[in-house]
Chains A and B, each alone.
Chain A
Amino acid sequence: MLVVENLQLKLNGNSIINGLDLHVGKAEIHGILGENGTGKTTIANLIMGTNSYRPTGGRIIFEGEDISRLSVSQRAKKGITLAWQEPARVEGLTVRDYLALSAKNGQIEQYLLMVGMEPAHYMDRDIDATLSGGERKRIEMASVLAMRPKLAILDEPDSGIDIVALPLLLNGIIEMNRQGSSVLLITHSERVTEIAHRVSILCAGKIISTGAPLETSQWFKNNCLTCPHINEPTQ
């Protein structure tokens, strides 16, 4: 589904992504676990083509095609989408209209229910500053669910989400995956990666380990959380 080969990004002379290799299979939930500053959000931007990021080396192959130079819209039309860590707010755009932009069928209420939101309370509200960060985040997730993408990139899906809503959100991701979507789950939380099929550990813009969620999370705990060389992999 998604193959990232030797991906590199230099910004202002600094290497941000450093020869990153990644494979996400069809209908796979693939977690990327990393501490702050390891390049997690940059990977999301590079794969989606947002923030004007274009690789300075390597390739991003989606369903056999190099998409590195495509626009955000072109990538979205191929079935890729992104839920931002801090989603944008758009004055005057209602939740209903926002979800309708993504929805492949008219039943948009169900996507709000899937993230634990009551449609009657939210449908006619604007996705502006009157929503809390957690509400906006869940609406972003509902919008991704409504799109039924081939590949959903979820950047820190749990940030700003309370403990009551988190299980609903994770169930929504599992349900989306059951319906055939691949998911790239970018997070610093081992709890979130429990729903992944495989997890990769990111350090200094490079994948340094990939494996089953439990073992990889344990490795992350044992090695990364206590690492004296954060973001400077020595092996």
Chain B
Amino acid sequence: MVRYSVEEEYRGMIDAYQKAGGDESVLKSQDTAKLVVHQNKVLANDGIKGLKIDTEETASGVRVNFTIEKGTKIDRPVHLCFGLLPKEGLQEIIMKVDAQENSQVSVVAHCIFPNAVKVIHKMDADINIGANAKFDYKETHYHGEGGGIEVIPRARVRVEKGGVWQSTFALSQGLVGKLDYDFEVFCQEKAVAELVVKAYGRGSDDIKIVEKIHLDGRGARGMAKSRLVLSGKARAEVRGETYGNAPYARGHVDCMELVNGKEAVAVAIPIVSVTDDTAKVTHEAAIGSIDRKQVETLMARGLDENEAVDVIVRGILK
């Protein structure tokens, strides 16, 4: 295995972070909270007032305790950067998040595996969103073209009364490899959960998505949304589940998978259930090819067919 010095690791991570759409200047800013982890080494860890990021390096990754103190509102997004530069390896992130009542934060996570040939990236998150707290989490992956990566993100999220959890998981740069995404959210009274997954599967990518929302409190609201585009021999199974278990709960499952080519396979399994007669949960699932009229509209402006498809795919996954 190639060994990296700490400086090389940091430089390599930053280069890959920029390729993944990240802005290096953000990581240099003293006003921005951040955490940079390469494999099981913490390369940077800067909290700010009201936000504590405690880390512990383990044999295969890191444990992270992420605490936003009661009433803290953080103006600038907190940046997390996880990755692994060698071709092979395992990175396990065990994360505990405590967003205390009336806190508010936006977190942008970049997960970077540019050289992966045989890499496993696992995240197990235990997340609590306090009463009236708001937590916005965006996770973007950058993979190389090798496709030799297995990504296994798992999260269990509890949202207390009036709290808001919004998450977006995007994997559209490089080959996905194998993705096994499983997020489950439990919403108390008037809590809100929005789960969004966007992925572009190509080659032999294998994608499995599970989004589950339990609307357990009166007036809780939830949306499980997914947007996938598949080409080559990629396959995807998306399971969006929403359970309306309380009075006036409102939920929606929205799944769209587009297949470009004859060998890709898309499966959508929406599950909606209500156990209260005033709750309402709806779903829409669409699987189809890329709309020919959209493609021709862009071709009529001078784009080649592949360029037109690329613009459409980027729009869907934006």
CB <8 Å contact, A76 and B301 = yes
CB <8 Å contact, B299 and A72 = yes
Question: Size range of the interface on A?
Answer: 20 to 34
Of B41-49, B136-144, B242-250, B304-312, the stretch lying at the interface with chain A is: B304-312
Q: Which residue of B lies closest to A103 (CB)?
A: B301
Main secondary structure of the interface of B (DSSP, over half): helix
A81 within 8 A of partner (CB): yes
CB <8 Å contact, B315 and A147 = no
How many angstroms from the CA of A81 to the CA of B296 in the assembled complex? 11
CB distance from B315 to the nearest CB of A (A): 3
Chain B residue numbers with a CB within 8 Å of A122 are none
A92 within 8 A of partner (CB): yes
Chain B residue numbers with a CB within 8 Å of A72 are 296, 299-300
CB <8 Å contact, B315 and A91 = yes
How many angstroms from the CA of A73 to the CA of B305 in the assembled complex? 7
| Most chain A C-beta atoms within 10 Å of own C-beta, residue among B292, B294, B316, B317 | B294
B314 within 8 A of partner (CB): yes
Chain A residue numbers with a CB within 8 Å of B105 are none
Q: Which residue of A lies closest to B304 (CB)?
A: A73
How many angstroms from the CA of A51 to the CA of B294 in the assembled complex? 11
State how many residues of chain B have any CB contact under 8 Å with chain A. Answer: 22
Q: Hey, what's the 0/1 contact readout for A126-142 against B, CB within 8 Å counting as 1? A: 10000000000000000
How many angstroms from the CA of A91 to the CA of B198 in the assembled complex? 13
CB <8 Å contact, A77 and B294 = no
How many angstroms from the CA of A87 to the CA of B297 in the assembled complex? 8
A69-115 contacts to B, CB under 8 A, are 71-73, 75-77, 81-82, 84, 87-93, 97, 101-102
Chain A residue numbers with a CB within 8 Å of B315 are 90-93, 126
B64 within 8 A of partner (CB): no
CB <8 Å contact, B318 and A82 = no
CB distance from A226 to the nearest CB of B (A): 35
A50 within 8 A of partner (CB): yes
CB distance from B299 to the nearest CB of A (A): 4
Supposing A72-B296, A84-B293, A84-B297 touch, asked if A92 and B302 sit within 8 A by C-beta, the answer is: no
**Complex partner residue of B298 from A92, A101, A126, CB under 8 angstroms:** A101
CB <8 Å contact, A76 and B294 = no
CB <8 Å contact, B291 and A73 = no
Residues of B within 8 A of A (CB): 291-294, 296-305, 308, 311-312, 314-318
